[in-house]
Amino acid sequence: MDRESLVIIPLYNEEKNLIKLYSLLRSFYSGDVLFVDDGSVDKSRLILSEFKSSNTFIISHRERKGLCNILFETEMLQKIKNFGRKEE
Domain ranges of the chain: 6-81
Question: Per residue in 35-65, pLDDT tens?
Answer: 988 889 999 999 999 988 888 888 887 777 7
Closest CA to 34 of 77, 88, 80: 77
CATH architecture of 6-81: Alpha-Beta Complex (3.90)
Helices (H) and strands (E) in the chain, counts: 3, 3
17 pLDDT band, cuts 50/70/90, is: very high
CB atoms within 10 A of CB 25: 16
Closest CA to 64 of 15, 22, 11: 11
4 pLDDT band, cuts 50/70/90, is: low
